[in-house]
Amino acid sequence: MQSKRPTPEDQTRKASVDALASLAKTLQKDRDTLGVLRQVTNQLKQEHALLLSVLQHLPCGVLIASAPSGRLIMSNQVMEQIFRQPFETSKDVLSHREWKLFHANGRPCDPNEWPMNRAIFYGEIVTCEVFKIRRADRSYGYVVANAAPLRDHRGQIIAGMLTMMEISGLPLGRVGSGRKSFVERPRHAA
For residue 53, give Cα distances in angstroms to 56, 64, 84, 145, 165: 5, 15, 21, 21, 18
Specify the pLDDT at position 173.
53
Taking the whole predicted model, whether its pTM rises above 0.75 is answered as: no
- What is the distance between the alpha carbons of residues 86 and 75, in angstroms, rounded to a whole number? 9
| Residue 175: predicted pLDDT | 39
Residue-wise pLDDT tens digits, 174-187: 433 344 444 544 44
pLDDT of residue 124: 98
CATH number of 59-167: 3.30.450.20
Q: Which residue stretches of the chain have pLDDT < 70?
A: 1-3, 89-91, 93-98, 171-190
- The answer to whether 37 touches 44, Cβ cutoff 8 Å, is no
- The model's pLDDT over 15-33, given as tens digits with 9 standing for 90+, comes to 888 888 888 899 899 898 8
State the Cα–Cα distance between residues 28 and 32, nearest whole angstrom: 6
Q: What angle do CA 83, 88, 91 make, to 5 degrees?
A: 100
Q: What is the pLDDT of residue 14?
A: 86
> What is the residue extent of each domain of the chain?
9-57, 59-167
At 13 the pLDDT is 86
